[in-house]
Amino acid sequence: MAEMDTSSGGGHKKGPGVKKPKKLSTRVDLTPMVDLGFLLLTFFVFTTTMSTPKGMAMNEPKDDPLNQLKVKNSGAMTLLLGKDDHVFYYFGELLPETISEQFKSSTFKDIREIIATKAKNTPLGDLMYIIKANKDATFKNAIDILDEMTISNVPPGHYAEVDITPTEEMLIQKTEEANGGK
Protein backbone atom coordinates (compact mmCIF):
# COMPACT_ATOMS: atom_id res chain seq x y z
CA MET A 1 0.00 0.00 0.00
CA ALA A 2 0.99 3.65 -0.21
CA GLU A 3 3.07 4.83 2.66
CA MET A 4 3.77 8.32 3.84
CA ASP A 5 6.96 9.10 5.74
CA THR A 6 6.22 11.86 8.24
CA SER A 7 9.23 11.50 10.46
CA SER A 8 11.13 14.70 11.07
CA GLY A 9 14.44 13.05 11.55
CA GLY A 10 14.87 13.73 15.28
CA GLY A 11 13.19 13.38 18.67
CA HIS A 12 10.21 15.57 19.63
CA LYS A 13 10.76 18.01 22.44
CA LYS A 14 7.78 19.54 24.08
CA GLY A 15 7.64 22.68 26.06
CA PRO A 16 7.56 26.45 25.84
CA GLY A 17 9.98 28.06 23.45
CA VAL A 18 10.63 24.93 21.44
CA LYS A 19 9.92 25.40 17.79
CA LYS A 20 7.98 22.84 15.93
CA PRO A 21 10.36 21.04 13.57
CA LYS A 22 9.89 21.29 9.80
CA LYS A 23 8.29 18.36 8.09
CA LEU A 24 10.36 16.89 5.35
CA SER A 25 8.97 15.78 1.98
CA THR A 26 6.47 12.99 1.75
CA ARG A 27 7.49 9.73 0.11
CA VAL A 28 5.01 7.77 -2.06
CA ASP A 29 5.66 4.08 -2.65
CA LEU A 30 5.19 3.34 -6.40
CA THR A 31 5.41 -0.45 -6.17
CA PRO A 32 1.65 -0.95 -6.65
CA MET A 33 1.77 1.31 -9.75
CA VAL A 34 4.43 -0.92 -11.30
CA ASP A 35 2.38 -4.01 -10.44
CA LEU A 36 -0.68 -2.45 -12.06
CA GLY A 37 1.35 -1.60 -15.20
CA PHE A 38 2.54 -5.19 -15.56
CA LEU A 39 -0.98 -6.51 -14.96
CA LEU A 40 -2.34 -4.24 -17.72
CA LEU A 41 0.47 -5.21 -20.07
CA THR A 42 -0.15 -8.90 -19.42
CA PHE A 43 -3.90 -8.42 -19.94
CA PHE A 44 -3.44 -6.73 -23.32
CA VAL A 45 -0.85 -9.27 -24.50
CA PHE A 46 -3.17 -12.17 -23.72
CA THR A 47 -6.36 -10.60 -25.09
CA THR A 48 -5.12 -9.21 -28.43
CA THR A 49 -5.68 -11.19 -31.60
CA MET A 50 -2.63 -11.93 -33.68
CA SER A 51 -2.91 -11.58 -37.44
CA THR A 52 -3.42 -14.88 -39.16
CA PRO A 53 -1.06 -15.78 -42.01
CA LYS A 54 -2.59 -15.84 -45.47
CA GLY A 55 -1.71 -18.52 -47.99
CA MET A 56 -1.34 -17.96 -51.70
CA ALA A 57 -3.79 -19.88 -53.89
CA MET A 58 -1.99 -21.89 -56.57
CA ASN A 59 -2.97 -24.59 -58.99
CA GLU A 60 -0.79 -27.59 -58.41
CA PRO A 61 -0.37 -30.05 -61.27
CA LYS A 62 -2.35 -33.25 -60.98
CA ASP A 63 -0.51 -36.57 -61.07
CA ASP A 64 -3.32 -38.22 -62.98
CA PRO A 65 -2.56 -37.79 -66.72
CA LEU A 66 -6.26 -38.14 -67.61
CA ASN A 67 -7.33 -35.20 -65.41
CA GLN A 68 -4.61 -32.72 -66.25
CA LEU A 69 -5.50 -29.16 -67.17
CA LYS A 70 -5.21 -28.54 -70.90
CA VAL A 71 -3.62 -25.22 -71.91
CA LYS A 72 -3.70 -23.58 -75.32
CA ASN A 73 -0.29 -22.98 -76.88
CA SER A 74 -1.27 -19.41 -77.72
CA GLY A 75 -1.97 -18.61 -74.06
CA ALA A 76 0.91 -20.44 -72.39
CA MET A 77 4.13 -18.85 -71.19
CA THR A 78 6.78 -20.96 -69.48
CA LEU A 79 9.13 -19.28 -67.01
CA LEU A 80 12.35 -21.12 -66.14
CA LEU A 81 14.27 -19.98 -63.07
CA GLY A 82 18.05 -20.27 -63.29
CA LYS A 83 20.93 -19.35 -61.05
CA ASP A 84 22.07 -15.77 -60.35
CA ASP A 85 18.51 -14.37 -60.65
CA HIS A 86 18.21 -15.25 -64.34
CA VAL A 87 14.82 -16.02 -65.82
CA PHE A 88 14.43 -17.89 -69.10
CA TYR A 89 11.11 -17.99 -70.88
CA TYR A 90 9.32 -19.12 -73.99
CA PHE A 91 5.78 -18.89 -75.30
CA GLY A 92 3.66 -21.90 -76.19
CA GLU A 93 5.29 -25.24 -76.84
CA LEU A 94 9.05 -25.45 -77.31
CA LEU A 95 9.65 -26.76 -80.83
CA PRO A 96 13.06 -28.14 -81.91
CA GLU A 97 13.12 -26.19 -85.20
CA THR A 98 12.45 -22.79 -83.53
CA ILE A 99 14.30 -23.13 -80.23
CA SER A 100 16.74 -20.33 -81.00
CA GLU A 101 13.90 -17.82 -81.60
CA GLN A 102 11.61 -19.09 -78.83
CA PHE A 103 13.99 -19.55 -75.89
CA LYS A 104 14.85 -16.15 -74.38
CA SER A 105 16.68 -14.90 -71.31
CA SER A 106 15.76 -12.10 -68.93
CA THR A 107 16.26 -10.83 -65.40
CA PHE A 108 13.75 -10.17 -62.65
CA LYS A 109 13.92 -6.46 -63.48
CA ASP A 110 12.59 -7.03 -67.01
CA ILE A 111 10.33 -10.05 -66.54
CA ARG A 112 7.47 -8.03 -65.00
CA GLU A 113 6.93 -6.13 -68.25
CA ILE A 114 7.03 -9.37 -70.27
CA ILE A 115 4.47 -11.00 -67.93
CA ALA A 116 2.19 -7.94 -68.08
CA THR A 117 2.42 -7.75 -71.88
CA LYS A 118 1.49 -11.43 -72.18
CA ALA A 119 -1.47 -10.94 -69.82
CA LYS A 120 -2.64 -7.89 -71.76
CA ASN A 121 -2.45 -9.59 -75.17
CA THR A 122 -4.06 -12.92 -74.16
CA PRO A 123 -7.71 -13.58 -73.24
CA LEU A 124 -8.01 -14.47 -69.55
CA GLY A 125 -9.55 -17.88 -70.29
CA ASP A 126 -6.51 -18.91 -72.33
CA LEU A 127 -3.80 -17.35 -70.12
CA MET A 128 -1.48 -19.71 -68.23
CA TYR A 129 2.00 -19.21 -66.79
CA ILE A 130 4.02 -22.36 -66.14
CA ILE A 131 6.80 -21.81 -63.60
CA LYS A 132 9.74 -24.23 -63.48
CA ALA A 133 12.88 -23.96 -61.39
CA ASN A 134 16.14 -25.73 -62.13
CA LYS A 135 18.45 -27.14 -59.45
CA ASP A 136 20.50 -23.91 -59.26
CA ALA A 137 17.53 -21.61 -58.63
CA THR A 138 17.03 -20.35 -55.09
CA PHE A 139 13.89 -20.36 -52.99
CA LYS A 140 14.03 -16.55 -53.15
CA ASN A 141 13.71 -16.74 -56.95
CA ALA A 142 10.57 -18.89 -56.66
CA ILE A 143 9.01 -16.42 -54.21
CA ASP A 144 10.07 -13.47 -56.41
CA ILE A 145 8.37 -14.90 -59.50
CA LEU A 146 5.18 -15.52 -57.49
CA ASP A 147 5.38 -11.91 -56.29
CA GLU A 148 5.71 -10.80 -59.92
CA MET A 149 2.50 -12.69 -60.70
CA THR A 150 0.72 -10.85 -57.89
CA ILE A 151 2.15 -7.47 -58.91
CA SER A 152 1.11 -8.06 -62.53
CA ASN A 153 -2.47 -8.86 -61.39
CA VAL A 154 -2.39 -12.39 -62.74
CA PRO A 155 -5.33 -14.12 -61.02
CA PRO A 156 -4.70 -17.30 -59.02
CA GLY A 157 -5.34 -20.36 -61.13
CA HIS A 158 -3.54 -18.89 -64.14
CA TYR A 159 -0.08 -19.95 -63.00
CA ALA A 160 1.30 -23.22 -61.69
CA GLU A 161 4.64 -24.57 -60.59
CA VAL A 162 5.74 -27.70 -62.47
CA ASP A 163 8.89 -29.84 -62.57
CA ILE A 164 11.46 -28.85 -65.16
CA THR A 165 12.18 -31.22 -68.06
CA PRO A 166 15.68 -32.46 -68.96
CA THR A 167 15.48 -30.60 -72.30
CA GLU A 168 14.81 -27.31 -70.50
CA GLU A 169 17.66 -28.02 -68.06
CA MET A 170 19.98 -28.57 -71.01
CA LEU A 171 18.82 -25.33 -72.69
CA ILE A 172 19.46 -23.33 -69.52
CA GLN A 173 22.92 -24.88 -69.16
CA LYS A 174 23.83 -24.18 -72.81
CA THR A 175 22.56 -20.59 -72.58
CA GLU A 176 24.52 -19.95 -69.38
CA GLU A 177 27.67 -21.41 -70.94
CA ALA A 178 27.21 -19.25 -74.05
CA ASN A 179 26.81 -16.14 -71.87
CA GLY A 180 30.12 -16.69 -70.11
CA GLY A 181 29.21 -19.15 -67.37
CA LYS A 182 26.62 -17.00 -65.68
**What domains lie within the chain, and their CATH numbers?**
72-178 (3.30.420.270)
Confidence at residue 119, expressed as pLDDT on a 0 to 100 scale: 86
Confidence at residue 59, expressed as pLDDT on a 0 to 100 scale: 59
Do residues 153 and 124 lie in contact, with contact meaning Cβ atoms separated by under 8 Å? no
Instruction: Give the pLDDT band of residue 2 (cuts 50, 70, 90).
Output: low
Instruction: Give the pLDDT band of residue 8 (cuts 50, 70, 90).
Output: low
Q: Measured over all CA atoms, what is the biggest interatomic distance in the chain, rounded to whole angstroms?
A: 123
- Chain segment 27-64, per-residue pLDDT in tens: 888 888 999 999 999 999 989 887 777 776 665 656 66
Q: How far apart are CA 54 and CA 98, in angstroms?
A: 42
Residues shown for the chain: 182
Instruction: State phi, psi for 149 to the nearest 5 degrees.
Output: -65, -45
The three-state secondary structure class of 116 is: helix
Instruction: Give the pLDDT band of residue 182 (cuts 50, 70, 90).
Output: very low
Q: How far apart are CA 142 and CA 23, in angstroms?
A: 75
- The residue ranking higher by pLDDT, 25 or 48, is 48
Do residues 167 and 94 lie in contact, with contact meaning Cβ atoms separated by under 8 Å? yes
Question: CA 154, 155, 160 angle in degrees (round to 5)?
Answer: 85
- The residue ranking higher by pLDDT, 54 or 180, is 54
Looking at 66-70, 112-116, 176-180, which range is the least confident one? 66-70
Decide if pLDDT at 105 tops 90: no
What's the average model confidence in pLDDT over 71-76?
76
**What percentage of residues in the chain have a pLDDT greater than 90?**
7
Decide if pLDDT at 5 tops 60: no
pTM of the model: 0.61
With CA atoms as reference, report the closest residue to 103 among 158, 168, 163, 180.
Answer: 168
Instruction: State phi, psi for 13 to the nearest 5 degrees.
Output: -110, 135
> What type of residue sits at position 3?
E
Instruction: State phi, psi for 30 to the nearest 5 degrees.
Output: -95, 10
